Chains A and B, each alone.
Chain A
Amino acid sequence: MIEYLSSREFLILFAKMIAIFGGVMGALAYTTLLERRVMAFVQMRPGPNRVGPFGLLQPIADGLKFLFKEQIVPTNANVFLYYAAPIISLIPALLSFSVIPFGPDLKIADVSVSLLLIFAITSLGVYGIVLGGWASNSKYPMMGAMRSSAQMLSYELSLTLSVVGVLMISNTLSLSSLVQNQQGTWWGFIPRWNIFLQPVGFLVYLLSGIAETNRLPFDLAESEQELVAGWHTEYSGMKFAMFFLAEYANMVTVSALATIMFLGGWNGPSLPGPWWLQMALPTIWFLLKIAAFLFFYIMVRASIPRIRYDQLMYFGWKVLLPIALANILVTSFLVAVL
């Protein structure tokens, strides 16, 4: 075991872990800044621009503030679960980055069922929300937790089913092979991305992905006007920050999966340049696609109002689910015939 820990192989793996984990944590912090600045831009106000040039040090200031805030536990709260809930929601959110391929070589683990593994890990994240709402022993968090668990169960179905079409086309469950299958172009100019074969699947995935991450217009679990802040009303300081980070990490995971399954992952036009640029290019394309997705997420939040709860359930069960099932039916028919 000690031999393995000092081997070259392990050191490279360890470096990758540090790079991916550190990179993801930094990116999450700056996604919050991006969100606040873009929202401010849409609503024609300056947004946070005081800390550092263009407000670039704002995430660090926020982090310090979270660390130094007083720890408050509501009376009659279930202390053990109250402290455990943020951890339960953050760990699965970060764990899924262990199998996401950021480039041909930049991945921590290459599992043959990595797509299912991500679905399994993220499906555990709902416990953080549910337990957080329950353990606070307060009305609004409880309401938020109930809404959230019902919503996530409903949309997880369409989310999983929307992917089946892509899986039938690519015949694999491994994220790396999914990306490799999308290399090249049709007729020299259309990239061989699954979005052109599965446009309906992509739309269903996109909508249920937004709902799965509890984002507007589906953020019924924390709708400020009715529930103060939903399941994390009673949380402050670092515990609140962990819920917050988990939400953003889930957004990045959903964007990364969409990029890998529908938008060709790290594939992109090759550019002339020195060797280090060639090495970094796939990762740059991948990160750019994720950034575009996150920008889309924020623009959706800035422009679309929240829908009603009954509309949410109606939409999930009676619109998205049938469309996802029909998509599977049509795709399997076409795959069998062609």
Chain B
Amino acid sequence: MIEVLFLLFAAIALGAAINVLAQKHVLYSSLSLIVLLTAISGLFILMQAEFLAVINVIVYAGAIMVLFVFVIMLLNLPADEDGEDRLRWLKLIGIPMGLFLSFMVIRTVWDVRATPLTPELAGTPQAIGASLFTDYVLPFELTSLLILIALMGAVVFAKKDL
């Protein structure tokens, strides 16, 4: 059962990921990205990380992507025209870089030995909260500081004469 579901969600995620790049219209790309994020949440649930799965949907699919779609609609961006290919040279570099990246990914997957999930507490909010506020409290606080700075920067950009 779990294998079937894994293959299903993995196939959806891969298909959506390819579609993000293949679509010409940016709105379709972002819609595919939403499908991709939801499918990844499905994979998280199969790994018993329910909290992570739900937060992934709330934050990315439910909030950030809504903003993306909102801005795309607001600007009413047209589909990409088949004009002069400005990325000609990047394609040449892209192929070796892509090969290198896939080599690294395959090697990492090959090397890492999967450890079995630790009992019940693996993906619960309690476990995540406890590790966030004990082991990872410094990165956590620094991230919040970073977000605050970005927020202030956005306000300064938006309102030039404060």
Instruction: Give the B-binding residues of A (Cβ under 8 A).
Output: 1, 4, 111-113, 116-117, 119-121, 123-124, 126-127, 130-131, 134, 142, 145-146, 149-150, 152-153, 156, 173
Contacts and interface: CB of A to CB of B under 8 A. Distances in A.
B133 interface: no
A91 B124 CA distance: 27
B34 A145 contact: no
A153 B58 contact: no
B57 A123 contact: yes
Contact of A113 (B34, B50, B61, B73): B50
B7 interface: no
A124 B60 CA distance: 10
B151 to A, nearest CB: 14
Contacts of A145: 73
Contacts of B124: 112
Interface string B43-62: 00000001100110110011
Interface string B118-139: 0000001100000000000000
B90 interface: no
B87 interface: no
- Mostly, the A contact residues are helix
Contacts of A149: 66, 69-70
A309 to B, nearest CB: 16
Nearest to B27: A134
- Mostly, the B contact residues are helix
Contacts, number: 69
30 contacts: A1-B1, A4-B1, A112-B125, A113-B54, A116-B51, A116-B58, A117-B50, A117-B54, A120-B41, A120-B55, A120-B57, A121-B57, A123-B57, A123-B61, A123-B62, A123-B63, A126-B62, A126-B66, A127-B31, A127-B66, A127-B69, A130-B69, A130-B73, A131-B31, A134-B27, A146-B70, A149-B69, A150-B70, A153-B63, A153-B67
B58 A130 contact: no
Give the 6 A-B CB pairs with smallest separation, nearest first.
A123-B62, A120-B57, A116-B54, A120-B58, A120-B54, A149-B70
A126 B54 CA distance: 17
B55 to A, nearest CB: 7
A211 B63 CA distance: 17
B162 interface: no
B50 A124 contact: no
Contact of B34 (A4, A127, A142, A152): A127
Given A112-B124, A149-B69, A156 B63 contact: yes
A252 B81 CA distance: 45
Contacts of B66: 123, 126-127, 130, 149, 152-153
A145 B54 CA distance: 25
Interface string B14-28: 000000000000010
B95 interface: no
Contacts of B34: 124, 127
Q: Which of A124, A130, A142 has the most CB of B within 10 A?
A: A124
A130 B55 CA distance: 22
B74 interface: yes
Contacts of B51: 113, 116
